[in-house]
Amino acid sequence: MAAAVTLGTVCMASADVVAQEIEGELVIVPLAAGLGDADDALCALNASGKAIWQRLDGRRTLGGVVAELGEQFQAPRDVIEPDVLGFAAEMLRRGFLVARA
């Protein structure tokens, strides 16, 4: 069973994915499983998703990411927090992110 994602969780991109920007969206595909497996579950992040992804560097906690984004986008914490936690949980489930112990 996967560990719960909390504001204290630290995440980073999996070494088994590659991310490239195409026309403003960040497309993430798995490397090890073969790029051909990625089409049906294409992961293309918009500006918001990209802003979160780029901060998941294995050092910041998700709480830190929430604080940074709140400051950058002048948005209340209770709006950003569920987005960041939900994003991280989904990316972890798909294996695009790994949680640092």
Partner 1 sequence: MNTTREGQGSTAAPQIVASLGLADGSVWSLSASGGDGARAVRRIAEAMRLTPAVASAAPAAHRLVLDDAGTPYRVRDDGGVGDEVLLPRQLRPRPLDAGADAEDLLWVRVNAALRALLVLMEPCGILLAHAALIARDGRGVLLAGHGDAGKTTAALRVGEPWTALCDDSVLVVPGEDGTYWAHPWPTWSAFLWGGSGMSCATETFVRAEAVAFIHQDEALELAPLEPQRTAVRLAASASQIAVEGKDIDDAQRASRVHRFSNACRFAERVPGYTLRLDLVGPYWGLLDAALESPA
For partner 1, the binding residues (CB under 8 A) are 18, 20-23, 25, 27, 29, 31-39, 42, 44
Nearer to partner 1, 33 or 79 (CB): 33
User: Is 88 in contact with 5 (CB distance < 8 Å)?
Assistant: yes
In the complex, the smallest distance separating the C-beta of residue 20 from partner 1, rounded to whole angstroms, is 4
Nearer to partner 1, 34 or 76 (CB): 34
In the complex, the smallest distance separating the C-beta of residue 46 from partner 1, rounded to whole angstroms, is 11
CA angle 86, 27, 76 (to 5 degrees): 35
**Dist CA 32 CA 37 (whole Å):** 10
CA angle 2, 6, 63 (to 5 degrees): 145
Nearer to partner 1, 18 or 99 (CB): 18
